[in-house]
Amino acid sequence: MAQLLAHADVAATEAEELLASVRESQQSTARLRRRAAELEALFSTARELVRLQDVTDVLRRLVERAHELMGTDVTYLSEVDNESGDLRVRYSAGTVTPEFRDLVVPAGFGLATMVASTREPAWVREYARMGEAPHDPTIDAAVEREGLVSFLGVPLAVGDQVLGALFACNRFAHDFIPDQVLLLSAFADHAASVLHSARVLAESAAARARAEDAYRELESHVAATHVASSVHEELTAAVMSGGTVVDLVATVSDRLGRRVWALDETGRPLDAPSSGLPSRRALADAMRESQASGHAATIVEDRRHWIVVAILGADRVLGAMVAEEGDAPADAVARPTLERAAHVAALVSFKRDAVTALRVQRRARLLLGLLDAPEGRLSELSAELATPITACAVIDVRGRDRALPVAADTVGDDGLVAQREHHLIIAWAVPDPAAATERVRRALADHLRDSEVTAVAGPDLAGVAELHNAVDRAARDIRFLAPLGITGATVRSDAFAPYHVLTSAEPETAARYVDDLLGRVRAWDTRRGTALVETLATYFDSGESRQGAAAALRVHTNTVQQRLERIWSLIDGDWNDPEFRFRVQAAVRLDRLRRTLVGGDETRSSG
């Protein structure tokens, strides 16, 4: 160009100006061409954004176009990965190491965090010497392996939200010019628009899916509520007609088309065997869970599922309803149905308990009245008895709540039950008082979960007039059991006959005891002028030796033998039973003591 101007005789000064103008024109043309290419790339990205189909494909092409136009060694896009603000490399062009393609930059480190936090473009000539942001050893190692030196980063922002950052990097030191910053920022704006649109569309799709799920759930809930309401009406009608909890369970089982059990508060079925049910421990845990939540609980055991709903009273669990769990649609009906049935069952239980409590209280008042009534009113109260009273029992329930209703329910119409202080008192007419008392004791021990409940079966009664003394005697027997280490058992009051004399405060107790055993023998002595009682006492003093007794009485051994045979015929009992011989010996010694003391008093009086 300069030679052509010299041949044309153009002055040197003019030639220099002309050459400068040409160079400027060439540079402007290059810039315009580059600008046109940039605009074409941006327009292409904008067109793809308008007909957004595949977000991943659009962003990948966007990074590739930015890489071509920027002319840098590496271009990559990082997206905010979590709520903490960590940035993860999603798309890259020009990278050579796999570690860098999935690099995570923790929040607070590196140039990426600075760009995201300031929402402004930033660049560094040499990354290793960067002091504007903290370095992270992992990031520095990845940058070194990739061989990157200079970085330019611009934010991907929509409104107040930063979605990530777009980077252009070189493997040599480089000062980025404003045109490069503007170009990369333009691509970043498009990328931010793509990410934002994708998130909006995803949220819209998720919201639509949630709305559809909610509508389906609402439909299912309405259908389940309708079924549950109709079942509730049937249950209410059953209650109004006097139905029991067992009747309610039958109705629910029929409507749900599955087996349903009614349990008492201990987890035992009320009307069916326990086969097919989960373990007692699992049932107890589920009942407690249902009590705490007020809703149904689920048991999974041996790959089977059950629904458990507690029947709740004012301050305790009255029982539960259990159903085998089916598929999900049926379960949506079964749970609210069982929960409503449990509410109705609680009302039935309240009604039953109220009626039972009134009956128990009335019968308890009658029994306490019989125990405390003066002799003049005893016959009047006895007329209220449905059956005669032939036996009694006393059960120690110290510190145990709800013993009276359980005992009354177990006794039923066989007798009366009352509670006085820490003793349950039973008066009844049963063929085997000891066996009947043990049955009640076991029911209490099981219900109260206390194996140490102890009971005494009182003596046979000839009439109501003997009830007070018999109950008092059985109550004293109870006090003997603990020192003897006897708990969790039923014993007969007759077993304590020799000891009643030692504990009774009644003045006639010893006399009655002696009369019961020796009355016929003393009567024989009185009528016949014999010495049978004295012979028996001497026999016991001699260690039950006939020869010793004969020597002490100064009679022949055969005479002692004849007297003993007469005594055995007059006293009812088995002389081969050591316990019976002990009782007779106790009666003989008490009789001798009483006669000795009375004789001594008379001597002192006459003296």
The DSSP call for residue 525 is: H
Are 410 and 443 spatial neighbours (Cβ–Cβ below 8 Å)? yes
Residues 6 or more apart whose Cβ sits within 8 Å of residue 316: 265
Tens of pLDDT along 499-553? 655 555 555 666 777 787 788 888 998 998 898 989 988 988 888 888 988 898 8
Q: What is the pLDDT of residue 331?
A: 61
The tokens describing 521, both together, are 């023998």
Confidence of residue 167 (pLDDT cuts 50, 70, 90): very high
Q: What is the pLDDT of residue 291?
A: 84
Residue 598 has pLDDT above 50, yes or no: yes
Tens of pLDDT along 120-152? 999 999 999 888 889 999 999 999 999 999 999
Q: What is the pLDDT of residue 37?
A: 53
78/513: higher pLDDT: 78
Residues 6 or more apart whose Cβ sits within 8 Å of residue 291: 310, 312, 317
Residue for token pair 């509670």: 419
Confidence of residue 184 (pLDDT cuts 50, 70, 90): confident
Q: What is the pLDDT of residue 410?
A: 87
pTM value? 0.44
The amino acid sitting at 468 is H
Q: What is the mean pLDDT of residues 457-480?
A: 85
- Alpha-carbon span 409 to 386, nearest angstrom: 17
Residue for token pair 């920022």: 185
β-strands 454-457, 391-396 pairing:
antiparallel
Q: What is the pLDDT of residue 18?
A: 62
Q: What is the pLDDT of residue 40?
A: 56
- Alpha-carbon span 454 to 226, nearest angstrom: 53
The tokens describing 230, both together, are 């109709």
Average pLDDT, the chain: 79
- Alpha-carbon span 410 to 356, nearest angstrom: 12
Q: In what order do the strands lie in the sheet with 122-124?
A: 104-105, 87-93, 74-80, 161-170, 150-158, 122-124
Tens of pLDDT along 18-40? 666 666 666 665 554 555 555 55
Q: Which long-range contacts (CB under 8 A, 24 or more apart) does 272-278 make?
A: 276/324, 277/306, 277/322, 278/304, 278/306, 278/322
Give the alpha-carbon dihedral of 272, 275, 277, 281, to 10 degrees. Answer: 100
Q: What is the pLDDT of residue 298?
A: 87
Least confident window among 30-34, 225-229, 370-374, 420-424: 30-34
Residue 197 has pLDDT above 90, yes or no: no
Give the alpha-carbon dihedral of 90, 94, 95, 96, to 10 degrees. Answer: 150
DSSP labels, 369-423: HHHH--HHHHHHHHTT-SS---EEEEEE-TT-TTHHHHHHHHHGGGEEEEEETTE
Confidence of residue 607 (pLDDT cuts 50, 70, 90): very low
Q: What is the pLDDT of residue 476?
A: 82
The DSSP call for residue 162 is: E
Q: Is 82 helix (H, G, I), strand (E, B) or coil?
A: coil
Least confident window among 272-286, 418-432, 465-479, 592-606: 592-606
Q: Please choose, from the candidates 115, 118, 195, 182, the residue with its C-alpha nearest in 3D space to the C-alpha of residue 151.
A: 115
Q: What is the pLDDT of residue 45?
A: 53
Q: What is the pLDDT of residue 147?
A: 93
Residue 341 has pLDDT above 90, yes or no: no
Residue 61 has pLDDT above 80, yes or no: yes
Q: What is the mean pLDDT of residues 287-312?
A: 86
- Alpha-carbon span 591 to 586, nearest angstrom: 9
Q: Is 354 helix (H, G, I), strand (E, B) or coil?
A: helix
Residue 345 has pLDDT above 70, yes or no: yes
